[in-house]
Amino acid sequence: MNRVLGWLDEPIGPFRAGAFPSRLRSARLTSLLGVALAAAFGICLLTGVLSHLIQQPPGWFRWPSRPVGLYRVTQGVHVATGLASVPLLGVKLWSVYPRLFSWPPLRGVRHAAQRLSIAALVAAALFQVISGLLNIAHWYAPMPFFFTAGHYWVAWLLTGALLIHIGVKAPVVREALRRPGTPDSDRRQLLLTVGAAAAVITVATVGQTVRPLAAVSLLAPRRPGTGPQGLPVNRTAAAAGVRDTALDPDYRLILSGPGRTLRLSLADLEALPQHTAVLPIACVEGWSATGTWSGVRLRDLAGLLGADPARCEAVAESLQAAGRYRTSVVAGAHLDDRLTLVALRLGGEPLALDHGYPARLIAPNRPGVLQTKWLGRITVRSVR
């Protein structure tokens, strides 16, 4: 075959044997990086699947409403481990670079299958990291698919390819890590640099959640403390096309239950018992910020309809005519929680238009995407 494709005998440029040589490469280094990367991916996968289950719960899945900040932590960890894997993945690929382009590319069926699984692994890993970064940056132009669905399905492809890879490489890794590494200050330097790069990236983004680090949060597009009322905004009222309906003086919140329907004006809502809850908005993109919200308990509204909140769920609908996040379901645990509010105020002031004026949902331990803004209708229905 090589004879036939004679010109392929001599790969050129970056593909030639010995391109980018380095004596730092070793089985031990690759193994160490592999273990670190597998750990980061594993944690990232678990927290990611959890986030998916919370947002699109199958019938068997129950997510509690306490502790209030649990989702904030799990999603923060998801984004942090994903970001930390960027330098790890880069150096891991560099450490095996000579083998990725070994020549001839295919040496038989077994070899072909092996290389195909490696190709799938590398492609899926790069896809996950890059699409995640693009989502954090709100840059959807390079993604001609719905981010959440693509990121979710490729996660399973990545998991499959990774399990195969771990199965194949486990003996090699075990062997490489059993032998004590030759003390080599350059290699240690390299590992320290990778660790430092991962740490810098983490510190430079985790400030979007951890307030004291906000000042050095250079890589995070949305920091706590910025935006109206000291809270970032993901989608503005103008972008959602709700300015006119939200500011309409004839606004009514339509409350409908099994037996009756109520139409409450803002004054009606303000006349009901008001409660305050200190709760975070925890966006799937990893930013989060705490606000002091006040308004009417959702379970009190369910009570007005004669419904038992513990046996019901609520569907919150926005005034927004279209868009993925215009509705959300509030399941029993959250509906019955005294901290779940139809919030009218933030930090004692009426909600800013961009934060969901005249009324928004805010509930404990819930992803930001489910904290529906510009509430237009709440339907309470019983569940078995």
Residues in contact with ligand MTE by the rule CB under 6 A: 231-235, 240, 281, 283, 318, 320, 323, 325-326, 355-356, 368-369, 371-374
Min separation Cβ 69 and ligand MTE, Å: 15
Per CB under 5 A, 283 contacts Mo ion: yes
Instruction: Report the partner that residue 231 touches, choosing among Mo ion, ligand MTE, none (CB closer than 5 to 8 A by kind).
Output: ligand MTE
Binding to Mo ion by CB under 5 A, coded x per residue (else -) over 310-349, reads: ----------------------------------------
Assigned token pair, 327: 């509705």
Query: For Mo ion, which residue of 368, 370, 371, 379 counts as binding (CB under 5 A)?
Result: 368
Tell me the pairing of strands 349-350 and 275-282: unpaired
Per CB under 5 A, 356 contacts Mo ion: no
Nearest residue (CB) to ligand MTE, 17 versus 278: 278
Min separation Cβ 143 and ligand MTE, Å: 16
Instruction: Report the partner that residue 355 touches, choosing among Mo ion, ligand MTE, none (CB closer than 5 to 8 A by kind).
Output: ligand MTE
Instruction: Report the partner that residue 40 touches, choosing among ligand MTE, Mo ion, none (CB closer than 5 to 8 A by kind).
Output: none
C-beta nearest to ligand MTE: residue: 368
Min separation Cβ 369 and Mo ion, Å: 5
Nearest residue (CB) to ligand MTE, 165 versus 345: 345
C-beta nearest to Mo ion: residue: 283
Using CB under 5 A, list all residues that contact Mo ion: 234, 283, 368-369
